[in-house]
């Protein structure tokens, strides 16, 4: 391996989106790889790639086609060979990868919780009747309206900085962000209150970073093995199997969280109508090696309870 390590003259190219959070994740990946092989960080080059989801900010994600909007152009660059690896927020990732690409490396997972963000004290329960809350997530919108159907929810696209600016401009009284993103940005000044998963179950794979590579690239595969975090992989295997069996996309409100307790994996899942009028949930456990099967079984059970047209209702 030492003969094939990247160097400043022949760096490994890391593809990423250009938002501050995406760059923080790419820099974390670079730092972990450099430390694992005791080489300089300038042996890795961060390559910023603009995606459809970044460029189009005036329409909801569901109107643009759902998942894949933040990954497609990066994966095309990976297939062309202009980058060597791609760093993704796993909650943005479709459950299927393009032919020729492999997603098999995960960094240690960050805080999975959502955060209630508002300059005003209190939480969701303290918002006055009819208050305006901003969110671009169908899951968060549905979960919020399930608890507080009196609230008004408006579209709130953009990266963390953009959403905070909109909040300061009075577009909404509150919004939601992922604790993982705030932690990775070191955003201690943001008025954020973590929400327990028991109150708001997070998005599938929230807080996890995945690293994608070309299937045929054996050198990169060997390097990524050194920074791979198996416990995160076990948890995501269950969550993404759950999502896949539900045919999950940005057009369906789905939440899921797997947790490990020794050799046992616990999976909690939730599906909701888009207007929040109905929510179905489940909670199951299985040996960790059966996580993917558990995810599929839970999805099938929830679909059976939901009946035909649950996700299609408007």
Q: Which of 198, 136, 138 is nearest to 163 (CA)?
A: 136
Helix (H) or strand (E) holding 53: helix 52-55
Q: Do domains 2-107+208-228 and 114-195 have the same CATH topology?
A: yes
Give me the tens of pLDDT residue by residue for the chain, a chain 314 residues long: 556 899 999 999 999 999 999 999 999 999 999 999 999 999 999 999 988 766 555 455 555 455 577 788 999 999 999 999 999 999 989 998 999 999 999 999 999 999 999 988 889 999 999 999 999 899 999 999 999 999 999 998 777 778 888 888 989 999 999 999 999 999 998 999 999 999 999 999 999 999 999 999 999 999 999 999 999 999 999 999 999 999 755 578 999 999 999 999 999 999 999 999 999 999 999 999 999 999 999 999 999 999 877 776 43
Q: Tell me the fold of 239-306.
A: Double Stranded RNA Binding Domain (3.30.160)
Q: What pLDDT shows up at residue 119?
A: 86
The angle, 0 to 180 degrees and rounded to 10, between the axes of the packed helices 230-245 and 291-306 is 30
The pLDDT score that the predictor gives to residue 222 is 96
| CATH number corresponding to 2-107+208-228 | 3.40.190.10
Backbone angle region of 69, left / alpha / beta, with phi > 0 → left and psi within -120 to 50 → alpha: alpha
pLDDT of residue 158: 75
Write out the H or E segment, with its range, that includes residue 60: none
* Residue 82 · residue 9 · CB < 8 Å: no
Where in the sequence numbering do the catalytic residues fall? 92
Distance between CA 271 and CA 239 in Å, rounded? Answer: 13
Q: What is the pLDDT of residue 313?
A: 45
Q: Where are the domains of the chain?
A: 2-107+208-228, 114-195, 239-306
Tokens of 151: 């609230």
pTM: 0.91
Q: Which CATH number describes the domain made up of 114-195?
A: 3.40.190.10
């Amino acid at each position: 391996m030492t003969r094939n390590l990247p160097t400043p003259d022949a760096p490994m190219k890391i593809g990423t989106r250009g938002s501050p959070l995406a760059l923080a994740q790419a820099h974390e990946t670079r730092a972990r790889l450099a430390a694992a092989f005791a080489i300089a960080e300038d042996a890795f080059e961060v390559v910023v790639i603009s995606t459809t989801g970044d460029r189009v900010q005036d329409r909801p994600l569901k109107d643009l086609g759902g998942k894949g909007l933040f990954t497609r152009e990066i994966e095309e660059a990976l297939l062309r060979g202009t980058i060597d690896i791609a760093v993704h927020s796993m909650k943005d990732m479709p459950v299927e990868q393009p032919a020729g690409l492999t997603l098999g490396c995960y960094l240690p997972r960050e805080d999975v919780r959502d955060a209630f963000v508002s300059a005003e004290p209190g939480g969701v329960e303290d918002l006055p009747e009819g208050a305006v809350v901003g969110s671009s997530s169908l899951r968060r919108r549905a979960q919020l309206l399930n608890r507080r159907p009196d609230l008004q929810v408006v579209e709130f696209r953009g990266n963390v900085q953009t959403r905070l600016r909109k909040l300061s401009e009075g577009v909404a009284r509150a919004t939601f962000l992922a604790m993982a993103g705030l932690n990775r940005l070191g955003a201690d000044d943001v008025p954020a209150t973590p929400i327990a998963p028991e109150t708001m179950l997070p998005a599938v794979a929230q807080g996890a970073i995945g690293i994608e590579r070309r299937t045929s690239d054996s050198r990169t595969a060997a390097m990524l093995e050194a920074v791979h975090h198996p416990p995160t992989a076990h948890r995501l295997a269950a969550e993404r199997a759950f999502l896949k069996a539900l045919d999950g996309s940005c057009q369906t409100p789905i939440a899921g969280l797997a947790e490990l307790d020794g050799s046992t994996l616990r999976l909690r899942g939730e599906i909701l109508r888009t207007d929040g009028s109905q929510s179905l949930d489940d909670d199951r456990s299985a040996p960790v090696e059966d996580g993917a099967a558990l995810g599929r079984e839970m999805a099938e059970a929830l679909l059976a309870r939901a009946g035909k047209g649950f996700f299609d209702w408007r």
